[in-house]
């Protein structure tokens, strides 16, 4: 799947780049921040310039790189003070052991250290260094000092290092740092501060202690949509059936297994929600009598009595008549007719429908959706599920904000 960025439009990030081989990742980070809509100003140390040229960052950001306290044109107007006030967030990535020490001790011997000292804006550092330097008592003491002052330490990761060793000290990946920035800056976007509930994935209905009935849902579309809503500023409660997917940034996952458990969790979360999106592939039926012991193979056939599960969307709508609700419809035929019937019958605000079958929707990374509402519709063309989720989240936000 492709990488769908958060919404950082209008946010101003001062990116401090220090010396170290990880400086090349800072170029990718600046690109990702800009793609998310951020305004990025790069400040480089002298040592950083030995690894990556200033022209690279200028080409990516569209701004001249700042690297000296002795820039006569900038400092004639107290440029370092202006920069310190300009940023919404100062992010030092990579942050070398040397820079961490200088920041911890309040030095002001270059432009980056000076503007950090002169700023009251949030400060985050993404350490990058050899594993022994990272574990050195002096480095850990400096980090403790910075944390005590409210500095956010992002990473590092562990793995193979440029020096040939393996261990902690790798700079956190640029896409993760970009998401960290979005989280540090707080809710931003058309759904800022809103509580959204998303159901995702399959349910499992037990037959006996080792067998169950389920479906082919991977949860990818639901998780992608939860992430997209969080990127638009929502606080997302993600009620998930069994999947192997990681929790999206900005989401709190509530794990369930059966349809009954998902229904109970949905009703509980919906009580305080302003937006509910049901993407989960919930089993329509469950086994009437679940065996307490493993069923032994005794004949050529076996019959299971099934009973109908509660419809989660119907239950939530009955409990919350005022809630903005979005449903999903997976169909093999008569897509629009079935979707619009479900839209009306379950009193939904929007419904996203897609065709399913071999090579469609399930077990693949792409999808396409037809979105319907009373008196309108929109087609979302085939795209990776996270890209599609972004388009759908924006459409949901548009209808949610403007109302019926």
Q: What is the pLDDT of residues 49-58, one digit of tens each?
A: 999 999 999 9
pLDDT of residue 9: 80
The distance from CA 359 to its chain's CA centroid, rounded to whole angstroms, is 27
CB 26 within 8 A of CB 92: no
Superfamily of domain 195-402: CoaB-like (3.40.50.10300)
Query: Which residues does the annotation mark as catalytic?
Result: 163
Confidence grade of residue 40 (pLDDT, cut at 50, 70, 90):
very high
185, two tokens: 């800056």
Residue 355 has pLDDT above 50, yes or no: yes
pLDDT band at 279 (very low <50, low <70, confident <90, very high): very high
pLDDT band at 166 (very low <50, low <70, confident <90, very high): confident
| Complete DSSP assignment for 320-367 | -TT-EEEEEEEESS-HHHHHHHHHHHTT-SEEEEEE-BTTBSTTSSEE
pLDDT one-digit tens code per residue, 108-144: 999 999 999 999 999 999 999 999 999 999 999 999 9
Displacement of CA 101 from its chain's centroid (Å): 32
| pLDDT top residue among 297 and 324 | 324
Using alpha carbons only, what angle is made at residue 222 by residues 225 and 262, rounded to the nearest 5 degrees? 130
Provide CATH 3.40.50.1950 ranges for the chain: 12-185
For CATH 3.40.50.10300, list the domain ranges present in the chain. 195-402
Contact 280, 217 (CB under 8 A): yes
Q: What is the mean pLDDT of residues 13-34?
A: 94
Q: Give residue 366's pLDDT.
A: 81
Q: Which DSSP symbol is given to 381?
A: E
Mean pLDDT over each residue of the chain, to the nearest integer:
90
pTM for this one? 0.69
Residue 361, pLDDT > 70, answer no
CA–CA gap between residue 36 and residue 30 (Å, rounded): 10
For the 12-185 domain, the top CATH level (class) is alpha beta
pLDDT single digits (tens) 245-269: 999 888 999 999 999 999 999 999 9
Query: Which residue is it, tokens 């599609």?
Result: 388
Highest mean pLDDT among 7-21, 163-177, 269-283: 269-283
Residue 73 has pLDDT above 80, yes or no: no
């Amino acid at each position: 799947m492709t990488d769908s960025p958060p919404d950082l439009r209008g946010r101003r990030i001062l990116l401090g780049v220090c010396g170290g081989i990880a400086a090349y990742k800072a170029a990718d980070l600046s690109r990702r921040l800009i793609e998310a809509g951020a305004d990025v100003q790069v400040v480089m140390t002298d040592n950083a310039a030995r690894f990556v040229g200033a022209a690279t960052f200028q080409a990516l950001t569209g701004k001249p790189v700042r690297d000296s306290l002795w820039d006569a044109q900038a400092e004639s107007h107290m440029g370092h003070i202006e920069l310190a006030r300009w940023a919404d967030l100062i992010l030092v990535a990579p942050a070398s052991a040397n820079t961490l020490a200088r920041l911890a001790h309040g030095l002001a011997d270059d432009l980056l250290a000076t503007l950090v000292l002169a700023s009251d804006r949030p400060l985050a550092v993404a350490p990058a260094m050899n594993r022994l330097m990272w574990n050195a008592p002096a480095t850990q003491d400096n980090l403790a000092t910075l944390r005590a002052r409210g500095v956010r330490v992002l990473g590092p990761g562990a793995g193979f290092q440029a020096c040939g060793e393996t261990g902690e000290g790798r700079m956190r990946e640029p896409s993760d740092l970009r998401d960290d920035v979005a989280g540090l800056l707080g809710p931003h976007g058309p759904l800022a501060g809103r509580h959204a509930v998303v159901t995702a994935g399959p349910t499992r209905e037990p037959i006996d202690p080792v067998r169950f009935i389920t479906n082919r849902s991977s949860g990818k579309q639901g998780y992608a949509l939860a992430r997209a809503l969080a990127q638009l500023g929502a606080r997302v409660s993600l009620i998930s059936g069994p999947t192997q997917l990681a929790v999206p940034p900005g989401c709190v996952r509530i794990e369930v297994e059966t349809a009954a458990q998902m229904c109970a969790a949905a009703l509980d979360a919906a009580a305080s929600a302003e937006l509910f999106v049901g993407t989960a592939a919930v089993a329509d039926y469950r086994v009437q009598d679940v065996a307490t012991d493993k069923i032994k193979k005794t004949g050529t056939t076996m019959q299971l009595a099934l009973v109908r599960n509660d419809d989660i969307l119907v239950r939530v709508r009955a409990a919350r008549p005022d809630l903005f609700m979005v449903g999903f419809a997976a169909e093999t035929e008569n897509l629009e007719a079935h979707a619009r019937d479900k839209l009306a019958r379950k009193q939904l605000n929007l419904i996203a429908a897609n065709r399913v079958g071999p090579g469609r929707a399930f077990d693949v990374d792409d999808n396409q959706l037809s979105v319907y509402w009373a008196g309108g519709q929109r087609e979302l063309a085939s795209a990776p599920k996270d890209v599609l989720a972004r388009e759908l989240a924006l459409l949901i936000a548009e209808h949610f904000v403007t109302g019926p």
